[in-house]
Each structure stands twice: as C-alpha cells, then as structure tokens.
C-alpha cells in the first residue's frame, strides 16, 4: 500500500503563480488545492487536513492576517511565497510562525521545500 500524498494549500492572488505551482506540485504527486481568496483559504484550513500551506505575500495585510489567524492556530508548516525573497523579509514573516520563505517564481525550489517538510514529517 502506498503512503498518502502530501496535501498542500496554495494561497496567492497571482493567478500565474497559482497555475504554475499547481502544475509542478501535482506533477510531483502532491495533492494540491489552490485559491486566491484568503477568506476561502481560512475555511479550507478549518475543514481540511493540509500538511503544508503556501501563502503569497500580497496583499501584505491579508497575508499577515491569514498567517496570524489560520497558520498560527494550525499545526501545519506555513511557507511564504515571495517574488523576491530577502533576509529582511524572512525575519519579518518568521515572527508570524512562518517556517520558511521561498521564491514563488522558482517552483522547483518551492517543491523542494514542500518535499523536505513532508519527508521530515514521515521520518
């Protein structure tokens, strides 16, 4: 019997990033749900057992509110998707319980982070 796939939620207001990340994650056999609506994302997190949550950084206030509410209250790792990540950005988001910062325009790096968390959890 095969192990269950990793379940990932991607929340981002950039439809191009959503489509690209969904394709890359699903090609790697990761069960992927995407939304560009933070309200819908909250409902999804409340009602689904996601293993990893990827959160876009724009709009900043919506991302911050989502992180402090949905991600902080869950036991799931939250990664921030940044267009241009920097150390300063990472430090800011780590204060909200974020476990990593990855560039959303580099879907292979996003996939590597997700797989790293998934394999660590399975070990």
Instruction: Let me know: does 79 contact 52? Beta carbons within 8 Å.
Output: yes
For residue 1, is it within any domain?
Answer: no
For residue 2, is it within any domain?
Answer: no
Range of the domain at 33: 7-122
Residue 95 has pLDDT above 70, yes or no: yes
Q: Give me the pLDDT at residue 22, please.
A: 96
For residue 24, is it within any domain?
Answer: yes
- Among 31-45, 53-67, 100-114, the least confident range: 53-67
Q: How many domains does the chain have?
A: 1
Residue 84 has pLDDT above 70, yes or no: no
What is the number of other CB atoms lying within 10 angstroms of the CB of residue 29?
Answer: 10
Q: Give me the pLDDT at residue 87, please.
A: 61
- Among 15-19, 91-95, 109-113, the least confident range: 91-95
Query: Which residues are registered as beta bridge partners of 52?
Result: 8
Once rounded to an integer, what is the mean pLDDT over residues 94-103?
80
Once rounded to an integer, what is the mean pLDDT over residues 77-83?
75
For residue 45, is it within any domain?
Answer: yes
Q: What is the CATH number of the domain that holds 101?
A: 3.40.50.2300
């Amino acid at each position: 019997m095969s192990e269950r796939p990793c379940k990932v939620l991607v929340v981002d207001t950039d439809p191009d990033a959503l489509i690209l990340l969904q394709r890359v994650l699903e090609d790697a056999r990761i069960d992927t749900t995407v939304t560009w609506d933070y309200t819908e994302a909250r409902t999804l997190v409340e009602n689904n057992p996601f293993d990893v949550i990827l959160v876009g950084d724009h709009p900043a206030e919506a991302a911050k509110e989502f992180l402090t509410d949905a991600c902080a209250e869950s036991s799931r790792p939250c990664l921030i998707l940044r267009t241009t990540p920097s150390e300063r950005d990472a430090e800011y988001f780590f204060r909200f319980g974020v476990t990593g910062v990855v560039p959303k325009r580099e879907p292979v790096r996003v996939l590597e982070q997700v797989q790293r968390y998934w394999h660590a959890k399975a070990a």
